[in-house]
Amino acid sequence: MQDPKTFEKIFQHIKTKVGDIKGSGRRGQEKGLEGIVAKVEGLANAYKNGFKTSVDGWLEGIIGNGKPQWDRNYKPGLKAVTTWIKAYVQEQRNWKDENAVKEQVKNKIKDELSTEVTQKAQQQMDSVKNTITDNITAVKKVCEEFVKKLDEQITKNSIKSFANRIVNGIERGIGVSPCSADNPDSDLTTAVKYTLVALCVAVKTVADELQSLGIGKFGDILDQIKPTVDELHGQLDKATQNVSTPPTPGDGTAQAVDSKLGEVREMVEKDALVRKFNEQVKNELQTAVGQLPGAVDDFNTKAQEQIRAAATIVCKIQTNLTKYIA
């Protein structure tokens, strides 16, 4: 720990601690408050510019992505869906590639969702906002609109025709004469229906978690804290500025405070006041300064705990999103 022998060093010590809380939003080095802001802005940008990519990731999380298990991006999918796809493949004597069928399922569902569901959902994200809460709220609205539009397509009266269009497209895509759509209980039709329901539930879960964790638990708090931390860091930066010319440090800087204390010390050492200065003022000041690092550490520890808690919440949100986006 830095030895706080002067006010300048004391301020520098505090500035370092506040800087840790402020953090950095630099790409690949995100940490602290600035890191949280950067990651949330990145999430908003992803939804604004590439929501279709998110839908692609969600679907892979449901039907699997065909990658080998040792691959870090491997997604097995849900057995509630994959077992039906497997059964369909086994029925096709000339079609043994299960992954090719899964790819067609994913692509044809995306195609069918594109205009009425995905595009209308993405329109909810008109721009990246200035605050954490506003960006998370905008992302949540995209998810909610997606769920709303998809839900309309998979009601009891709508899902049959919606699923049939997808099934016919899948079978044409794999070179099979379309016939599964004629049977509402066929393996492929069932797989498509379950995929659509699972997709709707998955995106609704994301929206609910964004509301509960991202907005309700910490968004407003972090938006209130950040301006205060920025202001404090700026003030400490000013207080610790290293002035070499002119020789007299600027008023209000830590160096100026040290300089004035030095002048007072030179004056009192010339007479009997030196004893009183040493025994009372100096000792009391040293005691106070000696306690400062502990107080700073205590402040820093509590603040870091709060930030870590907030960061953990963000990570939890992003983890839930990543399950379907990555």
Alpha carbon distance 135, 314 (integer Å): 13
- Mean pLDDT in residue range 123-129: 77
Quick one: pLDDT band at residue 36, thresholds 50, 70, 90?
A: confident
Q: What is the mean pLDDT of residues 187-192?
A: 94
What is the three-class DSSP state of 241?
coil
Higher pLDDT: 240 or 191? It is 191
Contact between 262 and 249 under an 8 Å Cβ cutoff? The reply is no
pLDDT value for 281: 41
- Tell me the backbone φ, ψ of residue 31, rounded to 5 degrees: -160, 160
Q: Per the structure block, which two tokens stand in for 218? A: 């910490």
Separation of first and last alpha carbons in the chain: 41
> Taking residues 237-263, what's their average pLDDT?
52
User: pLDDT tens, 133-154?
Assistant: 788 888 888 999 999 999 999 9
Which band of pLDDT confidence, cut at 50, 70 and 90, is reported for residue 43?
A: confident
User: Which residues lie across from 24 on neighbouring strands?
Assistant: 31
Q: 89 versus 125: which is more confidently predicted?
A: 89
| Identity of the amino acid at 210 | L
CA-atom Rg of the chain in angstroms: 31
Confidence of residue 323 (pLDDT cuts 50, 70, 90): very low
- The pLDDT of residue 174: 86
Does 66 score more than 80 pLDDT?
Answer: yes
Q: Would you place residue 211 in the very low, low, confident or very high pLDDT band (cuts 50, 70, 90)?
A: confident
pLDDT of amino acid 198: 94
What's the chain's average pLDDT?
72
Residue 31 β-bridge partners? 24
Tell me which of 323 and 86 has the higher pLDDT: 86
CA–CA gap between residue 120 and residue 271 (Å, rounded)? 83
Say how far apart CA 142 and CA 139 lie, in whole Å.
5
Which of the residue ranges 120-134, 248-262, 274-288 has the most confident prediction, judged by mean pLDDT?
120-134
Residue-level pLDDT at 145: 93
Which pLDDT score is estimated for 264? Answer: 44
Q: How far apart are CA 72 and CA 219, in angstroms?
A: 31
Single pTM value for the model: 0.65
For residues 58-73, b (16+ Cβ closer than 10 Å) or e, as one string?
bbbbbbbbbeeeeeee
Report the pLDDT value the prediction gives residue 24, as an integer from 0 to 100.
Answer: 65
What mean pLDDT do residues 109-132 have? 83
pLDDT digits (tens, 9 = 90+) for 105-120: 999 999 999 888 888 8
